[in-house]
Structures are given as C-alpha cells and as structure tokens.
A and B are shown apart, each in its own frame.
Chain A
C-alpha cells in the first residue's frame, strides 16, 4: 500500500485518539469533587451570626470595651488618621449606619448614638466575587475569611463591600500597634484586612473577643442553625434590622432596637 497523504492523516488521527483515551478516561471517570470547599466537614452544620442589642449597648456612655478587646488581640493598629484607618470593629452615628430610617420627627433620640459596625459576614458576600486570587471566601460556617498570604492588595473587595468593612494597609502597621499580641499575626503593607468573627477563638470553643468583653451583654453570638442557641433566643420575637438588606447580601449581623 502506498503511504500517501490520506493514509498518513488517518494514522495520525487514530494515534491521537489512542493517546487521548487514558487521560480522557481519568477525567471523565471521576466521581464527585476531589477538592472540598474550605472547612467543609469541620463546621458545615453551623451558621455563625451576631446580634447587637443597641439599647443595652447605649447604657454605658463612651464604653469601648469590645473595640479595645478586638483590637488588642488582633493587633489592629491605630494610625491616628481617618484616611488610613484600619477597621475591624468601629462605631458610627446611628443615622449613618441606618440612613434609611426616618429621623425627621423623632427628635435627637438615638440619631447620633454610636452604632457598632463590623464585617457582616454576609450569606452572599459581594467582596468574595471580586477577589482575583480567592484570598477571601465564605466558609461553610458562614465566616467570610481572609487569607492574608494570598492577598495581592488590589482592593477590589473593598470596592465590592457595601459596608466599608474592609481596610487596606497603606504602610507597615507594626509601629502603630501599642502592644503586639504574639499569638496573632500582624499584617503587612499592601494587604486588606477585616473582622474575622474571631475564627481563631471559635475553633477553641470560645466566643468572639468583643462578645466576651461586653459587660452589658449587648452583643450576642451563636449558631443560627441551632434553635436553642443564644442568638436565636435573642432574635426571637424581636424587630430586627440589618444594614442595607435591599442589596441582597443577607448580612448576618443583626441590630435589635
């Protein structure tokens, strides 16, 4: 038989099919995913959430116990200017936290009272969709995690977060930390950071530092999937506010007034 162009193409085609058989089989014979989503199995049965009971929070004027505790254990720097501020747990006047509420006829009331803000650990967090390196993602237990190792500092997540819960390190934060807690890493120049729901304490079975530090018991934390949990009891039968629920992010920090 003459080995002409036509035969060559046939043989070449058959050879390629033969070579592709094994890798093809390996790909298509796989059952399920080999790479489970982060922290699945460890905590899939939980959904952490927090409630801020504002009336209790306002009982003591000027109290910053929760903020101090959070910033102390997480090495949050105090840069002293609002432009470069690193925010994990902070306050704004109530009217800024809930601008949609009507204050026209309520008088001063609680319009200017400090309202505690933190990462809302949304069910549908917009920040994670923007992250090009997957440095931030939602764990199965609802904690929106940050992997500082992987953050490239592009700040897309900050643009994505409608709550301003993320902060960028414009400079090395270490000189601005009063006393470094050796147990928790500091951050470095060029990464974004935010509240982590005290993920490192949850794994030890402890409550978040802010919740523990609050003497008025204004902060309630717990697992939404357990009907008997503290948070479920606190929310039961109450009028509950979330920040900007109309955006569909489903925030998991509730405000009770």
Chain B
C-alpha cells in the first residue's frame, strides 16, 4: 500500500463527482420533487381504481392494443362491471385531455419514453407536432 493516500483521494473525488447531481438537487431544494399529474376536475373515477391503474396502466394498454388490433375485441369490462371502448385516444385522452399535464409528469420524472405518441393522437398538443 504505497499509494494508499492517492487511491483514497481519487476514490473520494470519484464518489463526489458521481453523486454531484444529488448534491446539486439537495442544495437547490429539488430533492423532494414529486411529480404532480393533473387529474381531470369533472371526473371522479378512472376506469379502474386509482391505485390499480397507477400500477397496471402499462399492461392494460398493451392488452387493449393486442385485443383491438389482433383479436378485434374492442370492449373492456372493468372490475365494477362497467364497459368501456378500448381506445387510447377516445377513452383515456377523452378525460386526460392534456398529455403534458398528465402522462408526461411521471414519465419525465422516471425517465421513461413511451412511444405511443409517435402515431397516436391526443386532442391538445397535436398542433405542437405540426
């Protein structure tokens, strides 16, 4: 251990650099950032309870996609026995009209980039594409 001092110093510098974004956010009070998706004001209930949809919306949309495109079934039977049309644009975006205020809030925070919007349309914001 001839160069213990240099190695330990180097390690400390490395750890500081790697964790610098966390320190930066802590210094400017951003560490406690929580995404705030805006729920539609006039609707009380999503197609499934909020806690469920939060976890399964990704799989649910994948199921809807396969069901509509590949099996030709377009009606979703929710757990409360209500039926909905399986459609991202017509069902989901009908209430959550603003993708930026809803979808993007958590997706940006988590760094996920769903590719739905490469093709699918949403009422507000299509002007932004053109």
With contacts A149-B65, A175-B130, A180-B126 known, is A39 near B121, CB below 8 A?
Answer: no
Residue from A175, A186, A203 in contact with B74 in the complex, judged by beta carbons closer than 8 Å: A203
Chain B residues, CB < 8 A from A241 = none
- Cβ-defined contact, A187 with B121, below 8 A: no
B80 lies within 8 A of chain A by Cβ: no
Residue from A43, A139, A148, A182 in contact with B121 in the complex, judged by beta carbons closer than 8 Å: A182
- Cβ-defined contact, B121 with A186, below 8 A: yes
- Cβ-defined contact, A39 with B71, below 8 A: yes
B119 lies within 8 A of chain A by Cβ: yes
Interface range on chain A: under 10, 10 to 19, 20 to 34, or 35 or more?
A: 20 to 34
A183 lies within 8 A of chain B by Cβ: yes
A64 lies within 8 A of chain B by Cβ: no
Name the CB-closest residue of B to A36. B71
Cα–Cα, bound, A39→B72 (Å): 5
B83 lies within 8 A of chain A by Cβ: no
Cα–Cα, bound, A175→B115 (Å): 18
A244 lies within 8 A of chain B by Cβ: no
Residue from A175, A180, A186, A203 in contact with B72 in the complex, judged by beta carbons closer than 8 Å: A203
Q: How far is the CB of B73 from chain A (nearest CB, A)?
A: 7
- Cβ-defined contact, A185 with B121, below 8 A: yes
A174 lies within 8 A of chain B by Cβ: yes
A38 lies within 8 A of chain B by Cβ: yes
- Cβ-defined contact, B123 with A42, below 8 A: no
- Cβ-defined contact, B71 with A187, below 8 A: no
Chain B residues, CB < 8 A from A145 = 69-70
Residue from B73, B115, B130 in contact with A180 in the complex, judged by beta carbons closer than 8 Å: B130
Which residues of B are at the interface with A, using a C-beta cutoff of 8 A? 65, 69-74, 89-90, 115, 118-123, 126, 129-130
| Pairs A–B under 8 Å by Cβ, sample size 10 | A38-B70, A39-B70, A39-B71, A180-B130, A182-B122, A183-B89, A185-B119, A188-B118, A203-B72, A203-B74
